[in-house]
Structure 1
Amino acid sequence: MNVLLKKFTTPFETVPFNEIKPEDFLPAVKEAIATAKGRIAAIKANTAPETFENVMEALEAASPEVDLISGIFFNLHSAETNDKIQEIAKEFSPLLTDFGNDISLDADLFKKIKKVWDHKDNFNLTAEQKMLLEKSYKSFVRNGALLNDAQKEKMREISSRLSTLGLQFGDHILKETNEYVMLVDNKEDLKGLPEDVAEAAATTAKEKGHEGKWAFTLQYPSVIPFLTHASNRELRKKLWLANSTKGFKDGETDNKAIIKEIASLRHQKANLLGYESHAHFVLEERMASNPKTVFEFIENIVNHATPAAIKETEELRAYAKKLDGVEDLQKWDTGYYAEKLKNEKFQVNDEMLRPYFKLENVIDGVFQVAKNLYGLTFQQRFDIPVYHEDVKTYDVLDENGKHVSVFYADFHPRAGKRGGAWMTSFRGQKVDQGVQVRPHVAIVCNFTKPTATKPSLLGFDEVTTLFHEFGHALHGMLADTKYESLSGTNVFWDFVELPSQILENWAYEKECLDLFAEHFETKEKIPAELIKKIKDSSSFLEGRATLRQLSFATVDMAWHSANPASITDIEAFESNSMGKMDFLPAVQGTSISTAFSHIFAGGYSAGYYSYKWAEVLDADAFEFFKEKGIFNREVAKKFRDNVLSKGGSQHPMDLYVAFRGQKPNPDALLRRAGLLHK
């Protein structure tokens, strides 16, 4: 029997990765879909009067096998892919899209849901049951349940095509990222690079058959340190251009036509459902509600950040000219001169900090934070199967030693893994027939690898990334709802970043850093003056950083808040959308959109603003912790009980107010960023 369809006999029923072969996935998902369809047929065939239990709960429980198998597959597709899995995805993804459409466009099933919806006041539902009903009913309507047959057929075609295009987009970016190598054969060209970056580049070159040279790639731990530290301006330009032209160079990995088609199909789909644009459709189910609110939100912060950003850019220009006689500051220069200027102003840089942030110590640090706040302990396990030898597994226990979750951690880049960092889960939390099913949660990152002479030492950005993803993981691990579809991170998109972004704040606090930041060789604790410098420098060039993030949000909204049919020249379109937020010369032949995986392959379409939106929430929420003490158990309990454990079982603003006692104040973010003076 197919291993994916059997009850897993591993510890905690974890995924038996050691037994799964790529060819297991298609037959397994086909059988799982057939089983789920049988359960749905039984819901429709039931002649008893419609109730919440025999319709909504039965539907919620209809397809756990499909969810499990697809979850495993797409996690591997992101974290440990290969040609075989990418080939299977071309059939696997449309199968799931068709299955989703078969359910959401099933007129007889929707009739039953509508009956429960129309009589909801007769059922004496709990708040969570009301939310499940509302979410399900709206989901059917938003997926076309009220359309006629011809419109439904059109919806199916659009959905199926979109799933294929999203995969193609991601595959193109992964291929370009993996294939690009900038070889350096002159040691002089490494000037300015930290020793460990040069050592890692030598290792990469050796792995690629170029022993004695240095290889730089478009993987984050390679490209970012090079652009930040390499004094060879021409090579910085070369690597920056390679990174900024992904998906934009014609040829087989070109994404220009793909993104135009994706945007066009999304717009058509929204129109079909009666919405003005894709953004109007998406934002109806967000805290922000509509595009107008998002544009006003962006504009408010842009107005505060622009004067600072102009001043910061002029300061960088003057500094580059003074230091190296650079007359024309370019985009491949900013990281380099920003790092030098920051070092000069604050006497702090990543290379001074890295020795205090050995990866294993930072992991211990986030575990200690989780213990201090929520009483959790993490026991490493060696008997849980993993999909790659780099992956570590943990049994997460509460204060009473009771099992809370399984936690997977996967930290280093490799060819089969997409770039970036993310949290995901292999099993969600739910209560199944009275039994509490605990979640299996993972975080996946791309941190600097250990070398022959040094352990993995993180830059401070990587430290905050680890805290960020671990914040998402806590949201998944501490979930405590009845229904899996409302559990953990299944919340409004502009609320999902609150648990992750709030945890980043701890990484700047002495009380937290003292728990784990020690020199990897001398074991000396991180000096207090270094912590002060981290904090003092945290809002360095914040105006520019804020505008950069909001420029991405603006491009996203520009693609999705109006008919994209008029977008012919992507470069000109991007320049019109966000030109006023960029004070450096435009570089011909480059594009953000063609490699903007968040919005074209990652579910953030018309949602990229949510990072800044959630920053308002996290800055306001952290002020509450600061008032009471960053490890105050009472405040932590309020955050756990009202935010982390509740998932999407209530409206996020209600949850936030229950935690904070008031709505979030946008000034908290501006204060923290140094863009609003007290």
Structure 2
Amino acid sequence: MTGQDSATNPVLAQSDLPYELPDFASISDDDFLPAFTAAMASHLAEVEAIAADPAEPTFANTVEALELSGRDLARASGIFFNLVGPDTNPKRNEISQELSTLLTDHGNTIAMNPVLFGRISELASRADELDLTEPQRRLLDKRYRESVRAGAGLPDAEQEEMRQIASRLAYLTTTFSQKILDDTNSSAVLVDDAADLDGLSSGQIAAARRAAADAGHDSGHLLTLELPTSQSVLTELTNPAVRQRVFDASVNRCSRGNDHDTRDLVLEIVRLRARRAELLGYRDHAEFVIAEQTAPDPSAVDDLLRELNESAMRAGGRELTRLTEFAGDAEIGPADLTFWLEREKQAKASVPLDGFADYCELDTVLTRGVFHAANKLYGLQFVERTGLPVYHPDVRVWEVRDDTGTGIGLFLGDFYARPSKRGGAWMNNIVDQSSVLQTQPIIVNVLNLTKPDEGQPCLLSIDQLTTLFHEFGHALHGLLSSVEYPSQSGTSVPRDFVEFPSQVNEMWALHPEVLANYALHHATGEPIPAELAAAARESAGAETAHGTIEYLAASSLDLAWHRLTVEEAAAVTDVEAFEAKALSEAGLQTDLIPPRYRSAYFNHIFGGGYSAGYYSYIWSEVLDAETEQWFLASGGLERDNGRRFAEATLSRGDSVDPLVSHEALIGRKPRIEPLLRRRGLAA
């Protein structure tokens, strides 16, 4: 199959597999571009018919018709963009680069269609007269704003400039992400002497040897890099020189002057975003972005970060004083800080924590922990399905059923790292839930755990355990969606609200009832000792100032780049100098703790959808901390609590105002004090 015949293209074919799961086995990379070409053409024909409708515009014949158009394009996008993140290759990278501009131009053609925009504008002007439901009113408002923000209301010359900016940004951000993956792979640290890996487990050492062999090295061990600045192996490696090598490799990614250097991309992206904001009447890109979020304006975000920055730096000073005393004569540099934090944590623990992972085998945690909590709260059942086509042999599939045994969707788990997968962890949706379309969700969770040797267990650290529960919180947001329109489904909420449900789900990772159900020794099956379980909970609850500072530094850096006006952005020519100045002005300049992501590899904001929005995690954590208190005060892991949370948040997507719904759940507006107590920042 070459993909040249659109009528039989397997990407566009209606799947007869359960829940319309794509038949990945029948699809080749050569099928994608022909599929997208055909899908975009058919979508434009549908849109032109909507615009040309001689009848007076109504919600049904304009907004709803537009919402339900482009189903072939949605199908193709759900398949292809699910593949590019977890399992890319040179061909897919090439296709992604071409599609980035084609799809952007396609979207702008629709958004700027003058006749269609006229119909939408007319409906928006008399929205109060139309007797719309809340989801319909929100959909109308969103479609109108999307067109305006694309430039539909601008003069022709400025519309053309907006098109060019959008197309160029699509190309640059896609290139940025690809360069990060390439340089992260090429920056992996080869260690010749196995003795230099002291501190790592036998499983980690075996994985490093396997990585070296896979990369073509005849000997040695390869320490691959994770996406954030902080590398988990730095907490374990006892050799300071090796720690320094790994740290330097991490912090210098994409700024080494090689083919993967992204600093020129950063500068161009920032300047184009500033110009787009100016054309639309905004002061800067942050104002443009935050206008669509739950935060009222950039000043409100600045105020939150300023309060947290000051508290975190005070806590950081206390932490460093304590740690310096603990380390004695040992020198503590930025490559050593997390190592000594881990040593201090273990020394303070009532029992040694190094055996905790033995009770956290991936499959057991997943089935008896993650799925168990979802069953207790939401009545969900998970039945593994074998024999269904998947996009990589490591991917597993579960059918998700409600408490009546009725199937509601599919959950795919893709847990192991590989060179073709970008770093980090995330949730994808291949198919959106929609009652109008009669579609049920297909949700994917992607992690980057080290794959064990055949017959060996995959054991999770506390951080990895938390990540597993976090990403499944996103999955629940998609699986429990119950909305009419696909664009309001699941996680299609404001960016600074999207992390809220996932952060709430983290609370069950070490909850006594959940932990007791899954924490069985991988070799003996013995339950975790009570004192080790208590020590793990105490350890996980002790948020380090280091972790808070590196996150806040990245958030402040994001806003600093995106508060630049056109003139200010043009004046910036040195990425590192700008970083230093921005962190100093935020009160976060420290030689010991770099940002969680430096600009050159900050994929969230220069390659993903979090530009001027990385603050979302801490903004959502205000809601999360309040909601955790609500759950615990209401009895914890109870079905009625899950039902109420699902009805207020998980099922609603963007069909209602998420903040209003949350306030109704907890009975008041959220307060910051629970967050400050959780992070050890309370006065």
Instruction: Tell me if TM exceeds 0.5.
Output: yes
Q: Deviation digits for residues 239-267 of structure 1, max 9, x if unmatched?
A: 11111111101121110100000011000
Q: CA deviation at 1:313?
A: 1.4
Residues 1:331 and 2:330 aligned together:
no
Task: Sort the Cα spacing of 1:349 and 1:62 in 2 relative to 1 into closer, same or farther, 3 A.
Answer: farther
Aligned to 1:386: 390
Aligned to 2:530: 528
**Comparing 171-180 and 51-60, the one that deviates more:** 171-180
Aligned to 1:574: 579
Task: Sort the Cα spacing of 1:350 and 1:10 in 2 relative to 1 into closer, same or farther, 3 A.
Answer: farther
Residues 1:375 and 2:382 aligned together:
no
Of 634, 656, 665, 1:628 maps to: 634
Match of 1:603, as an amino acid?
G
**1:643-658 alignment to 2 at 5 Å?**
643-658=649-664
- Taking structure 2 as the reference length, the TM-score comes to 0.95
**Comparing 222-231 and 66-75, the one that deviates more:** 222-231
Aligned to 2:66: 59
Residues 1:672 and 2:661 aligned together:
no
Of 558, 561, 566, 2:560 maps to: 558
Residues 1:397 and 2:401 aligned together:
yes
**1:434-513 alignment to 2 at 5 Å?**
436-452=438-454, 454-513=456-515
Match of 2:623, as an amino acid?
L
Q: Deviation digits for residues 551-607 of structure 1, max 9, x if unmatched?
A: 11000000001222232222221112224324435899x981000000001110000
Contact 1:391 1:410 in 2 (8 A): yes
Match of 2:468, as an amino acid?
L
Aligned to 2:195: 188
In 2, Cα distance between equivalents of 1:186 and 1:631:
49
In 1, Cα distance between equivalents of 2:482 and 2:351:
42
Q: Secondary structure in 1 aligned to 2:428?
A: strand
Structure 1: runs of 5+ lacking an equivalent: none
Aligned to 2:5: none
Aligned to 1:412: 416
Task: Sort the Cα spacing of 1:177 and 1:449 in 2 relative to 1 into closer, same or farther, 3 A.
Answer: same
**Comparing 8-17 and 365-374, the one that deviates more:** 8-17
Aligned to 1:346: 349
Aligned to 2:102: 95
Contact 1:221 1:448 in 2 (8 A): no
In 1, Cα distance between equivalents of 2:594 and 2:349:
31
Q: Secondary structure in 2 aligned to 1:441?
A: strand
In 2, Cα distance between equivalents of 1:516 and 1:585:
37
Task: Sort the Cα spacing of 1:540 and 1:192 in 2 relative to 1 into closer, same or farther, 3 A.
Answer: same
Of 603, 607, 612, 1:597 maps to: 603
Task: Sort the Cα spacing of 1:35 and 1:488 in 2 relative to 1 into closer, same or farther, 3 A.
Answer: same
In 1, Cα distance between equivalents of 2:230 and 2:69:
45
Match of 1:331, as an amino acid?
P
Contact 1:197 1:222 in 2 (8 A): no
In 2, Cα distance between equivalents of 1:173 and 1:412:
19
Contact 2:19 2:439 in 1 (8 A): no
Contact 2:424 2:447 in 1 (8 A): yes
Q: CA deviation at 1:101?
A: 0.6
Q: Deviation digits for residues 619-646 of structure 1, max 9, x if unmatched?
A: 1001011012221222211110010000
In 1, Cα distance between equivalents of 2:231 and 2:30:
37
Q: CA deviation at 1:219?
A: 4.0
Aligned to 2:669: 663
In 2, Cα distance between equivalents of 1:350 and 1:54:
62
Q: Secondary structure in 1 aligned to 2:416?
A: coil
Q: Deviation digits for residues 505-556 of structure 1, max 9, x if unmatched?
A: 1112212101111110111112221222122223435322212211110000
Task: Sort the Cα spacing of 1:414 and 1:630 in 2 relative to 1 into closer, same or farther, 3 A.
Answer: same
Residues 1:427 and 2:434 aligned together:
no
Residues 1:28 and 2:32 aligned together:
no
Residues 1:5 and 2:25 aligned together:
no
Contact 1:286 1:493 in 2 (8 A): yes
Task: Sort the Cα spacing of 1:619 and 1:591 in 2 relative to 1 into closer, same or farther, 3 A.
Answer: closer
Q: CA deviation at 1:179?
A: 2.2
Aligned to 1:165: 172
In 2, Cα distance between equivalents of 1:51 and 1:591:
47
Aligned to 1:360: 363
Residues 1:213 and 2:216 aligned together:
no
Q: CA deviation at 1:453?
A: 5.7
Q: CA deviation at 1:187?
A: 2.8
**Comparing 179-188 and 128-137, the one that deviates more:** 179-188
Contact 2:583 2:589 in 1 (8 A): yes
In 1, Cα distance between equivalents of 2:471 and 2:558:
23
Aligned to 2:295: 288
Q: CA deviation at 1:71?
A: 2.3
**% identity of equivalent residues:** 40
**Comparing 542-551 and 368-377, the one that deviates more:** 542-551
Q: Deviation digits for residues 483-524 of structure 1, max 9, x if unmatched?
A: 011110000111111110001111122121011111101111
In 2, Cα distance between equivalents of 1:474 and 1:522:
32
Q: Secondary structure in 2 aligned to 1:81?
A: coil
Match of 1:256, as an amino acid?
R
In 1, Cα distance between equivalents of 2:502 and 2:386:
27
Q: Deviation digits for residues 11-37 of structure 1, max 9, x if unmatched?
A: 221111101111111111111111111
In 2, Cα distance between equivalents of 1:226 and 1:120:
56
Contact 2:553 2:594 in 1 (8 A): no
Alignment length (residue pairs): 670
Q: CA deviation at 1:451?
A: 2.1
Task: Sort the Cα spacing of 1:622 and 1:216 in 2 relative to 1 into closer, same or farther, 3 A.
Answer: same
In 1, Cα distance between equivalents of 2:552 and 2:163:
34
In 2, Cα distance between equivalents of 1:452 and 1:317:
42
Q: CA deviation at 1:349?
A: 6.5
Contact 2:543 2:680 in 1 (8 A): no
In 2, Cα distance between equivalents of 1:379 and 1:453:
23
Contact 1:342 1:540 in 2 (8 A): no
Q: Secondary structure in 2 aligned to 1:430?
A: coil
**Comparing 182-191 and 276-285, the one that deviates more:** 182-191
Q: CA deviation at 1:67?
A: 1.7
In 1, Cα distance between equivalents of 2:263 and 2:353:
36
Of 140, 146, 151, 1:144 maps to: 151
In 2, Cα distance between equivalents of 1:555 and 1:410:
31
In 2, Cα distance between equivalents of 1:617 and 1:317:
35
CA RMSD of aligned residues (A): 1.9
Q: CA deviation at 1:469?
A: 0.3
Q: Secondary structure in 2 aligned to 1:141?
A: helix
Q: Deviation digits for residues 269-319 of structure 1, max 9, x if unmatched?
A: 000001000000000111112110000011122233222111001222232
Task: Sort the Cα spacing of 1:183 and 1:299 in 2 relative to 1 into closer, same or farther, 3 A.
Answer: same
Of 315, 323, 330, 2:322 maps to: 315
Contact 1:313 1:544 in 2 (8 A): no
Task: Sort the Cα spacing of 1:220 and 1:583 in 2 relative to 1 into closer, same or farther, 3 A.
Answer: closer
Q: CA deviation at 1:347?
A: 5.0
